[in-house]
Structure 1
Amino acid sequence: MTDIRNDRETLFAYLQDPATQPDFWARVADDVDWTVEGTHPLAGRYRSKKEFTAATFDRLAKVLEGGVKLTVEHLYVDGDTTIVELASTSTTKEGAQFDNRYCWVCRFDGDMIAEVRAYLDSAMVGYTVLRNELRQRGG
């Protein structure tokens, strides 16, 4: 169990820096079933890694200086399930702290993430994304 826990700690630590995030995404199944809970512009159910990253990480990268940066606060491992609590260390392009918290409930199939349910601060995401996208459009 210690080996699995260490592996998962290393895996989710890749989210701290956009330069190491490809190592994280390499362990997410192409056909991942990823649900982002809430009522905000990024919420929804995504049926592939490509669809999920385009609608969330790529969209956030357009409004966050240096892209999405997440640090692990807590990690819980039980069999094929890992629950990870993450904190954003990102800043918006207008200089505001994007102080969001996430909880991802991940199901692994072997070494690959096959399914995720993600919970976050809907109000913060909606406000940040829409405000910054509007600002970028000159609104």
Structure 2
Amino acid sequence: MDVTPSLSNTTEELIGKRQALFANLETPETIPRFFEGVADNVSWTLHGNHSLAGEYTSKQSFINQVINRLGPMMRNGLRFQINRLHVGSPVTVAEMESTSVGMDGAPYDQIYAWICTFENGTIVNVHAYVDSVAVIDFLRRNEG
């Protein structure tokens, strides 16, 4: 994972903490650990023109309506590859891609950019950008 360390208020300790947090997204077994670092009342906006897009006003609503909807459609579970972290304080940007395979056997060819605002080490606001066409195609092929 590449890291941009030159953003404001960045220390090696902060970079390490953010790397460790986002690394939890790489396997389905550790995704719950990532969400331990997300505030219960997070404001999470998933941008795009697809059925998952919208504003989620709690961690649980995002997990229920997005993570728990997509996860069962994956042969190998929901998995993210962290390509770059642009670490700053209070904002960290994660550039990621999916390494998941749908139940239909085709890769979930998705890219992500999450702009995460932290307060006291906890994510309190996320603006997440995804490829809408990839979401629509994946849901069409795997939801049923």
TM-score normalised by the chain length of structure 1: 0.93
Paired residue total: 134
Which amino acid letter does the alignment assign opposite residue 102 of structure 1?
A: Y
Residue 112 of structure 1 is matched in structure 2 by 122
- Amino acid aligned to 2:54: G
What RMSD in Å do the two structures reach over aligned CA positions? 0.9
> Is 1:129 aligned to 2:139, yes or no?
yes
Q: For 2:80 and 2:17, how far apart are their aligned partners in 1?
A: 17
Query: Unaligned stretches of 5+ in structure 1?
Result: none
Partner SS, residue 68 of structure 1: coil
- Listed as ranges, the gaps of 5+ residues in structure 2 are 1-10
Amino acid in the other structure paired with 2:21: L
Judge which range, 124-133 or 9-18, deviates more. Answer: 124-133
Superimposed CA distance per residue, residues 16-49 of structure 1 (whole angstroms, 9 cap, x where no aligned partner): 0011111111110000000000001110000000
Give the fraction of aligned pairs with identical amino acids, expressed as a percent: 38
Q: What is the rounded CA distance, in whole Å, between the counterparts of 2:121 and 2:73 in structure 1? A: 32
Counterpart in the other structure of 1:22: 32
Deviation >2 Å, runs of 4+: none
Query: What TM-score do you get using the length of structure 2 for normalisation?
Result: 0.90
1:51 aligns with 2:33: no
Output one character per residue of 1:46-72: Cα deviation in whole Å (capped at 9) or x when no partner. 000000011111110121113210011
1:75–1:83 CA contact under 8 A, matched in 2: yes
Between structures 1 and 2, the one with greater strand share: 1
Partners in 2 of 1:71 and 1:110 — Cα distance? Answer: 25
CA distance in 2, matches of 1:6, 1:46: 28
Partner amino acid for 1:83? V
